[in-house]
C-alpha cells in the first residue's frame, strides 16, 4: 500500500509539472511587451486586433470567432477576410474602432495616442511587439493567458519551439544584406525581428547594430560590406540586381555569384506571427544554397 501511494504521488507530481499554467483569476494584470500591467477580463468575448501579426495569432489559437474587428492590412489567414475592418492605422479611425465595442484590443508598438485614448475609456490594450522569435513564442503564451485559453497557448508555443529548433542554420555562416526597400536602399538591422531570423538561419548581418533597426544604407557602404547573399522583397528587384541595373548592389559578391534572392512571401519574415517558421526554414535553405 505504501509503495502504491508513493507511486501515485509521483504520478501526480509528474502531471503537475506537465500541466499548462492555469488561467489567471479575473483582474490579474498581464505584463505586455511595453512592460505595462494590463488587467484583462477572464475570457474576453469581443477582441479587436489592430495588427496583422496579432490577427494571425488569434486565429492560430482558435479564437478567430471572437474577433470583432481588424485592420485593412490583416489579410491572413483567409478567414480574417470575414472579420469587419476598422480601416487602416494611418491615421486610426477612432469612431470605427469604438463601434466594435471591444473588451480587449491587441496592438503593436506605436500609436501611443490611440492606446492612451482607449485605456482612458476603460478598454484594456495589450501590446505585442516581439523583437525575436523567442519573444514571439513568449507572446503566444501571454496571448493564451489573455484569451482565457492558457492550455492552447502553451500547446502552440511548445510546438513552435520544437519547429524552430528543428531548423538547422546554414554552415558556414554567410554575410547577408536584407533589403526592405529599394528607394532609398533600406535594410533590416540586427536588432529587428528579421535580423533575429537571419541570425538563426546562419546569416551574418552586414549592417552594424549602431546603424539602427531600419537604416538607409549608402551604396558605397554595401560595396565595402561585400555581402555574400542579398535578399529582396520582389522578383523584379532580384532580377534588376542580377542584371547589373542596381549600381552598388550589382557590384557585390552576392550578385557576382548569383546569390540574390527574393522572399516568396515577405510577410513570413516581416510579421512576427505563426508563419515565422516558414520564413526561418526558407532562410536557412536559401543561405545553405550554392
Q: What is the pLDDT of residue 90?
A: 84
- Residues 158 and 127: beta-carbon distance below 8 Å: no
Place of cell 532580377: 239
For the chain, list the domains and their CATH numbers: 22-163 (3.40.50.1980), 174-287 (3.40.50.1980)
Q: What is the pLDDT of residue 247?
A: 82
Place of cell 513570413: 268
Q: What is the pLDDT of residue 26?
A: 58
Distance between CA atoms of 197 and 134, rounded to whole angstroms? 10
Q: Which band of pLDDT confidence, cut at 50, 70 and 90, is reported for residue 89? A: confident
Place of cell 526592405: 180
For residues 275, 168, 197, 35, the Cα torsion angle rounded to the nearest 10 degrees is 80
Residue 251 has pLDDT above 50, yes or no: yes
Q: What is the pLDDT of residue 43?
A: 92
pTM of the full structure = 0.88
From 174, 188, 184, select the one nearest 248 (Cα to Cα).
184
Q: What is the β-pairing status of strands 37-39 and 29-31?
A: antiparallel
Mean pLDDT of the chain: 91
Q: What is the pLDDT of residue 4?
A: 39
Amino acid at each position: 500500500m505504501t509503495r502504491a501511494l508513493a507511486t501515485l504521488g509521483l504520478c501526480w507530481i509528474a502531471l503537475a509539472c506537465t500541466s499548462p499554467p492555469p488561467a489567471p483569476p479575473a483582474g490579474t494584470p498581464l505584463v505586455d511587451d511595453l512592460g505595462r500591467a494590463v488587467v484583462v477580463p477572464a475570457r474576453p468575448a469581443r477582441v479587436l486586433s489592430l495588427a496583422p501579426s496579432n490577427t494571425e495569432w488569434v486565429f492560430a489559437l482558435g479564437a478567430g470567432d471572437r474577433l470583432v474587428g481588424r485592420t485593412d492590412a490583416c489579410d491572413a489567414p483567409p478567414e480574417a477576410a470575414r472579420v469587419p475592418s476598422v480601416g487602416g492605422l494611418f491615421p486610426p479611425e477612432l469612431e470605427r474602432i469604438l463601434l466594435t465595442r471591444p473588451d480587449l484590443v491587441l496592438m503593436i508598438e506605436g500609436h501611443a495616442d490611440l492606446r492612451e485614448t482607449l485605456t482612458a475609456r476603460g478598454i484594456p490594450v495589450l501590446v505585442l511587439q516581439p523583437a525575436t522569435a523567442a519573444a514571439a513564442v513568449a507572446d503566444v503564451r501571454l496571448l493564451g493567458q489573455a484569451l482565457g485559453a492558457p492550455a492552447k497557448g502553451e500547446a502552440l508555443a511548445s510546438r513552435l519551439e520544437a519547429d524552430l529548433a528543428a531548423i538547422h542554420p546554414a554552415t558556414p555562416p554567410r554575410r547577408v544584406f536584407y533589403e526592405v526597400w529599394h528607394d532609398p536602399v533600406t535594410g533590416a538591422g540586427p536588432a529587428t525581428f528579421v535580423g533575429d531570423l537571419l541570425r538563426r538561419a546562419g546569416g551574418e548581418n552586414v549592417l552594424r547594430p549602431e546603424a539602427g533597426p531600419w537604416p538607409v544604407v549608402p551604396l558605397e557602404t554595401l560595396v565595402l560590406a561585400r555581402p555574400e547573399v542579398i535578399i529582396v522583397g520582389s522578383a523584379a528587384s532580384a532580377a534588376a540586381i542580377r542584371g547589373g541595373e542596381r549600381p552598388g548592389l550589382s557590384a557585390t559578391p552576392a550578385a557576382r555569384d548569383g546569390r540574390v534572392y527574393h522572399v516568396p512571401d515577405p510577410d513570413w519574415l516581416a510579421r512576427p506571427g505563426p508563419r515565422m517558421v516558414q520564413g526561418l526554414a526558407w532562410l536557412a535553405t536559401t543561405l545553405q544554397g550554392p
